[in-house]
Amino acid sequence: MKKNCLECNEPFVGRVDKKFCSDYCRNAYNNKINKESKNLIRNVNNRLRKNYRVLSDLNSTGKTKITRTKLLDNNFDFNFFTSIYTTKTGNTYFYVYDQGYLPLENEYFLLIKKE
């Protein structure tokens, strides 16, 4: 049975349920369809990875006090984190995987590592 490839529109012969003339066309077609959603996920994961690296580098002891300026100088983005933890006393910790930070007074942050 002759059909046309969904990617290149060339005719091909094959199984009844075959949609593409080659693996190249199949991959190209699927990459085009998934491009936008994959870019969003890729960009968010890259930003999380950078934030994690900044927190890890600045918090070598497991508990460190640091200024907001120091975080921003290292291109830390406060909009990207993986979880929030609020203690019984009302303190809110923001985590990027196992690295966390607690906003303190006067633009200071306490960096911690979850054990």
Tell me the mean pLDDT in the region 12-18: 89
Taking the C-alpha atoms of residue 17 and residue 108, their distance in angstroms, rounded to an integer, is: 61
Q: Strand pairing partners for 66?
A: 109
Of 2, 86, 11, 10, which is closest to residue 100 (Cα–Cα)?
Answer: 86
Helices within 10-85 (DSSP H only): 23-58, 68-73
| pLDDT tens sequence across 30-86 | 988 877 778 888 899 999 999 999 999 999 888 999 999 999 999 999 999 999 999
Tell me the mean pLDDT in the region 19-34: 91
Instruction: Assign 18 to helix, strand or coil.
Output: coil
Query: pTM of whole model > 0.85?
Result: no
pLDDT on residue 81: 96
pLDDT on residue 20: 93
Tell me the mean pLDDT in the region 18-37: 89
Instruction: Assign 77 to helix, strand or coil.
Output: coil
